[in-house]
Amino acid sequence: MKRHKILVRGPALSASGYGEQTRFALQCLKSREDLFDIFLVPINWGKTGWITHLNEERAWLDHLVMKTTFHVQNKGEFDISLQVTIPNEWEKLAPLNVGYTAGVETTLVAPVWVEKSALMNRIITTSKHAKDTFLNTSYEATNKETGQTIKDYRVQTPTQEVNYCVRYNDPAPLDIELSTDFNFLTVAQWGPRKNLGNTIRWFVEEFKDEENVGLIVKTSLMKNCIIDRGIIKERLHSFLEEYPDRKCKVYLLHGNLSDGEMASLYLHPQVKGLLALTHGEGFGLPIFEAVCNGLPVIACDWSGQVDFLHGRVKSKNGKFKKRALFTKVDYELVEIPEEAVWDGVLQKGSRWCSADEKDSKRKLRDFYTNPTVPLGKANKLKKYVLRKFSPEKKHAEFVEQVLLAGLPAQTTVDESVVVFD
């Protein structure tokens, strides 16, 4: 059987969410090397650093890069391209092209994403929220050649979500000292979307009189360097200066941690729950990792994480029913602020989730008062996720979507002659 020469272009060496996404895609393809001959062109992702851990996977990635360089120098061609990035970067690189993206954290995709989608034979997203946002966004546009108005211009390329799979990581030694016995954990890059400022502020205001409660803030800006750490420390210090008499603790955990060290953090006996008050997620990988390790989650029931925070459990009548197996925080959808607008990516006028302050504090207090209830939910959710999101299932789903790119395209509008109003 002839193998498909597939070119993967994405930030495979980047210590970013899109880097994780690219490496997941590569592992999916590697599971069917009888079907795919894999090539790799690594790209940068913003200002994020590159992975530095030397292991078997990194050696394989380096091999793919060298193999691709030799193939291109010898004028080799590809059957399929798999482009793991925001749709702004999508282009026709092969006879068949697949776009794979995660960055849908609001209620709209940008007009350029709709336009670029027509260049793809198939689109894969990381969550149902991302898929639905792609397919439900529409704009009014004009055909530049005829002047005809297109009132409901939307993505017509076949689009399907494929969630990440469970990753099994053995715990590795973690250098962290906690003086408090009961600690919440938040894992987020410091920026508008992750809502880290309110997360810290609301925790401190709720537990300012509690000596034995802490919040571990695992964060960075972009690059995990000394300058980055200094900026983060200064930001955190300015937050905590507002509460000079607080008794609760806030710990800063900065820099890259290996998968094993992160597993140790999720499994730490003094870490009781993950607090994720993010405005929106394309998937929510840190939340997913916490779930896979049995750590209870406090979050809003919106965006990408919804796919894995609900599990099928047996009810009293013996029937299975899907239920939320996490601590839900009330929220409302609000227009994204001006500072979060990213032209061509985070669309002005789109909305995202805003956690309710009072309910966030109430749920934190309830969790602290009776942690056995969320722990029971977390144990059920872990069992469900380990079964539902197994590598075998998700690898097969991803491969199927790539192969479906060979079906006849459904696009009916010539994107080259469209202008958005």
The per-residue pLDDT for range 97-140, each reduced to its tens digit, is: 999 998 789 999 999 999 999 999 999 999 999 999 999 999 99
4-165+392-420 placed in CATH 3.40.50.11930: yes
The residue ranking higher by pLDDT, 259 or 369, is 369
Q: Crossing angle for the helix pair 226-240 and 196-207, nearest 10 degrees?
A: 40
pLDDT value, residue 263:
96
Domains 4-165+392-420 and 182-389 share a fold: yes
Question: Where do the structural domains in the chain lie, given as residue ranges?
Answer: 4-165+392-420, 182-389
Structure tokens at 281: 């997620």
Q: Helix or strand or coil: residue 327? A: strand
Provide, rounded to the nearest whole percent, the portion of the chain with pLDDT above 90.
Answer: 77
* Spatial contact of 123 and 155, defined as CB atoms under 8 Å apart: yes
CA separation, residue 53 to residues 15, 253, 400 (Å): 10, 19, 31
What CATH number was assigned to the domain covering residues 182-389? 3.40.50.2000
Q: Helix or strand or coil: residue 46? A: coil
Region 388-396 average pLDDT: 97
375 pLDDT higher than 90: yes
304 pLDDT higher than 80: yes
Residues whose CB is less than 8 angstroms from the CB of residue 419 and which lie 6 or more positions away in sequence, other chains included: 141, 142, 144
Task: Please tell me the pTM assigned to this model.
Answer: 0.92
Burial code (b: 16+ CB inside 10 Å, e: under 16) for 221-242 equals bbbbeeebbeebeebbeebeee
pLDDT value, residue 410:
45
pLDDT value, residue 223:
58
pLDDT value, residue 110:
94
Closest by CA position to 250, among listed 195, 179, 192: 179
pLDDT value, residue 412:
40
152-178: per-residue pLDDT in tens?
Answer: 999 999 999 999 999 989 999 999 999
